[in-house]
Amino acid sequence: MQENMRHKEIHNKTRGVIAAISNVVGILLILFVVACLLPAFVPKILGREVFTVVSGSMEPEIPVGSLVIIKKADPLKIQSGDVIAFRRNGVVVTHRVVENQKENHQFITKGDANDDVDLEPISYSELVGLLSHHFGGVGTLMAFLSTLGGKLFLIGLILFGVLLQILAGKLRS
């Protein structure tokens, strides 16, 4: 009889430990998903645009795979040395301003890693905005998460986290 009670006690402790581990891992998975989504949504809520750098023209300061956050800016206030994003032929490019030609309403730009200035000036109408922040490597993660596989991965993590929470609740009761 005493052995049976000891067995029940060990069983209950084991269930409690498994419940606690399930609870913690479930919460961590859900928090991880939320943390992965923050870079995509918080800047947009604050009126910023988010892009992933796909070329090495701004290396080493802004490496390939960086997430860049761009804020709206008055073209007349942009100065030489500022980093801007602009649309050219349907692509967003992030380069440094060499000169703001206010009288012509255009910028002369250059990628930090490039030897020469860009071939064509950037008109004010092509301006997306001014670089606010950049985060190395985060853009690659965001690019993956925007694919079908990335979305399925996040959904799977959330479901697994919720299942672990349910398991923890069942083990405790």
For every residue of 126-151, DSSP letters joined together read: GEEEEEEEEETTHHHHHHHHTSHHHH
> What does the pLDDT read at residue 89?
87
Which residue matches tokens 């255009």?
A: 106
Q: Assess whether pLDDT exceeds 70 at residue 2.
A: no
CATH 2.10.109.10 residue window(s) in the chain: 48-136
Distance, in Å, from the CA atom of 166 to the CA atom of 157, rounded to the nearest integer, reads: 14
Distances (CA, A) of 106 to 36, 58, 86, 102, 124: 37, 20, 11, 6, 5
DSSP state of 54: -
Q: Which of 23-32, 34-43, 114-123, 147-156 has the lowest mean pLDDT?
A: 34-43
With cut-offs at 50, 70 and 90, classify the pLDDT of residue 1. Answer: low
What are 106-120's pLDDT values in tens digits? Answer: 999 999 999 999 999
Architecture of domain 48-136: Ribbon (2.10)
Q: What is this structure's pTM? A: 0.71
With cut-offs at 50, 70 and 90, classify the pLDDT of residue 15. Answer: confident
Across-strand partners of 70? Answer: 49, 131
> What does the pLDDT read at residue 171?
86
Residue percentage of the chain with pLDDT more than 70: 97
Per the CB < 8 A criterion, the answer to whether 67 and 143 are in contact is no
Q: Assess whether pLDDT exceeds 80 at residue 145.
A: yes
Would you tell me the crossing angle of helices 138-145 and 2-45 to the nearest 10 degrees? 100
